[in-house]
Structure 1
Amino acid sequence: MNRFTRKAAALAAGLGLAVASLAAHAEGKISIAQQFGIGYLLLDVVRDQQLIEKHGRQQGVNIQVEWASISGATAMNEALLAGALDVVSAGVPPMLTLWDRTRGKQNVKAVAALGSLPNYLLSNNPNVKTIKDLSDKDRIAVPAAGVGFQSRTLQIETARVFGKEEFKRFDNISVSLPHPEATAALIAGGSEINTHFSSAPFYYQALAANKNIHKLISSYDILGGPATFNVLYTTQKFHDENPKTYKAFYGALVEAAQLVKADKAKAADIFIRVQKSKLPPDLVRRIVEDPENDFTVSPHRTFVYADELQKLGVVRNKAASWKDYFFEEAYAQPGS
């Protein structure tokens, strides 16, 4: 072997070691971000029971899992695109927006649903019975005015009631406010916030605390039945370059959903422990056991969002079915 051949062989061996090292590193690490609330129960179960690590060992990989808590879909999406996180979570509309924006580039798609849970549009204004009664004097609290899950859901209903051209009719009276602050304002009354598009556990608390608070409509009413609230999503790069880690993650989510379905009391205890929740245990169990709430990885009625938001021009690309914006591992479950 001459000097050139030896150098080439050494270089090839070095590159091989480097590639192997990168592959080993990639297949042994995942960073996941979740938001706050019981809508993320499946992730709490995955974390508490160390299910990713368990399924990783079954794949022959020791997986290091990093957990982060972030509030808001905008921050989630920015972190994912910057490569600061591998998997993020948010409502269906923010995921679809990113799927639309990254087609042909990062190709962001959903990993799995986190459950079908309704959101309630609540008001403490006795004169407001439906969205037709809302006026410029009212203020609607939502986590992300104009762009988040609640706003997009309200826009779909607004277009249905007032016409497509009017779908942003209530954006100008919407106020970005986290659920806890919005709930406190609604219960107390007397502030400009008299309406709130609320998720669990907050609408349970509001309806129980103030007899003047009533439901105008729910996301289930708008979407035609039980529908996915939050989803997990990632990039094509992470999906393709980490097949064992990805498979372990998806398997962990499926097992977590099975655990919740089999033992709701245990799932409620896990939520309280992981989130260090101050909520009354009886309320948490009531929410987990409520038939309206289905903690499943199967997507439900996500295509209603894809179709309606494309008609409104919020999403440019037209999806043929829910499978267009979910990675193929999710096809093993029924979906819509």
Structure 2
Amino acid sequence: MQSPFSLTTHQQPKRIARWPARLAAVASAIALLLGTPAHAEGQLRIAYQYDVGDILLHVVRDQKLIEKYAAQEGVQANVEWKQLSGGAAINDAILSNTLDVASTGLPPLLTVWDRTRGKQNIKAIAALGSLPTYLLSRNPAVKTLDDFGRGDRIALPATTISLHARLLQIAAANRYGRDKFNHFDELTVSLPHSEAAAALLSGKTEVNAHFASPPFQFQELKDPAIHKITSSYEILGGPATLNILWAPERWQKENPKTFTALRRALAEALTYVQGHKAEAAATYVRLENSKLPVAFVQEIISLPDVQYTLQPQNTYKLASFLADVGAIKQRPASWKDYFFEDAHAGGGS
């Protein structure tokens, strides 16, 4: 009698053929249980911004620098680039594991750093440059912050929580006292920079002010009816980081070679932008399919106030303010708390 455990000749190949798939499934399950990655290193989903504050990332993407340095680490990189609007959407994508690395303004990073400390431990990889943001108005009666009144409407990316909203709150706190930090909040409206610029330039909507970012603020200032009230540099007392690149600690630990490749790619992009302004401007215009003249973008990124650097500048002032007003629960001891250790050696603030 045939043993119930024996295989007939026609059964054997079919059943044996199932073993590789079963072993792969078991290996994946064990990997998850042990907390090790179930996928090969080199997979990177990265979100970046539309503005020239992310021009380093435009160069990294165009020249495939992550792939270049990953190959030197013995890794074949597969980089997926995405453009998402708004810090909240990006935070959700990171936390739901549909995104690995993102560029945003500082407040979204500090918010998610605060909420994930001791869990996902989200931190910054590098700053992407210090660029000023301008508060503009087309109301001739408004010459200083004190002149804004109930009839004014200030457009910014997101009321209360965006970088521009927080800068306006810091300006109010500096001017009227910490308990009046939300003095201007009732005057603000949420609009993407492109729509806010169009509204301000038209002069036909309720929006008569815009806390803008480059390149939009420079387009708006070409209209003689529009003038600058203040800037992020004035509010924070010096050059200040505009955009910042960050990721969960899990991705950094599971992909150490890709992380190193990303840092090296940023360093090469920085050298390239600093030495090839015209070419960098052309790269930005091409990748964004922008209607801006390349010479105009080059003019912006060549301004003395525009400082491309991987080291953070004046970020801790904003972090301290958010802790003061209860926007984050944990006060960082310094900027190093919300940056990965790899960024510490170059200094920052």
Superposition TM-score tier, normalisation by shorter sequence: over 0.9
Separation in 2 of the partners of 1:316 and 1:52?
A: 35
Separation in 2 of the partners of 1:70 and 1:105?
A: 24
The one of 127, 144, 148 aligned to 1:134: 148
CA displacement at 1:71 relative to structure 2 = 0.7
Secondary structure of the residue aligned to 2:245 is strand
> What's the counterpart of residue 215 of structure 2?
201
> What's the counterpart of residue 284 of structure 2?
271
Separation in 2 of the partners of 1:240 and 1:190?
A: 52
Separation in 2 of the partners of 1:232 and 1:110?
A: 6
Deviation per CA, 1:87-133, whole angstroms, max 9, x where unpaired?
Answer: 11110111111111111121111111111001000000011111111
- How many residues are aligned here? 327
Separation in 2 of the partners of 1:90 and 1:291?
A: 23
AA matched with 1:207: L
CA displacement at 1:179 relative to structure 2 = 0.9
> What's the counterpart of residue 286 of structure 1?
299
> What's the counterpart of residue 37 of structure 1?
51
CA displacement at 1:24 relative to structure 2 = 7.7
Secondary structure of the residue aligned to 1:191 is coil
AA matched with 1:128: V
AA matched with 1:83: N
> What's the counterpart of residue 240 of structure 1?
253
Secondary structure of the residue aligned to 1:331 is helix
Indicate whether 1:163 and 2:177 are aligned.
yes
AA matched with 1:201: P
> What's the counterpart of residue 201 of structure 2?
187
Written as runs of structure 1 = structure 2, the 5 A alignment for 1:78-227 is 78-208=92-222, 210-227=223-240
Secondary structure of the residue aligned to 2:80 is strand
Secondary structure of the residue aligned to 2:233 is helix
> What's the counterpart of residue 339 of structure 2?
326
> What's the counterpart of residue 7 of structure 1?
none
Separation in 2 of the partners of 1:255 and 1:24?
A: 31
Aligned identity (percent) is 50
> What's the counterpart of residue 59 of structure 1?
73
Separation in 2 of the partners of 1:38 and 1:199?
A: 9
Cα contact 1:123–1:213 (8 A) shared by 2: yes
> What's the counterpart of residue 3 of structure 1?
none
Secondary structure of the residue aligned to 2:230 is strand
CA displacement at 1:332 relative to structure 2 = 3.0
Secondary structure of the residue aligned to 2:81 is strand
AA matched with 1:117: L
Cα contact 2:236–2:314 (8 A) shared by 1: yes
Separation in 2 of the partners of 1:182 and 1:15?
A: 51
Separation in 2 of the partners of 1:261 and 1:16?
A: 50
> What's the counterpart of residue 88 of structure 2?
74
Instruction: State the superposition RMSD in angstroms.
Output: 2.2
Give the direction of change, closer, same or farther, for the CA distance of 1:24–1:273 in structure 2 (3 Å limit): farther
> What's the counterpart of residue 4 of structure 1?
none
Cα contact 1:156–1:309 (8 A) shared by 2: no
Cα contact 2:281–2:295 (8 A) shared by 1: no
Separation in 2 of the partners of 1:326 and 1:200?
A: 25
CA displacement at 1:190 relative to structure 2 = 3.3
Cα contact 1:118–1:219 (8 A) shared by 2: yes
Q: Point out where structure 1 has 5 or more consecutive residues left out of the alignment.
A: 1-9
Separation in 2 of the partners of 1:272 and 1:14?
A: 45
Written as runs of structure 1 = structure 2, the 5 A alignment for 1:288-307 is 288-307=301-320
> What's the counterpart of residue 313 of structure 1?
326
Deviation per CA, 1:309-335, whole angstroms, max 9, x where unpaired?
Answer: 211221221111111000011113221
Secondary structure of the residue aligned to 1:256 is helix
Normalising to structure 1: TM-score of the pair?
0.92
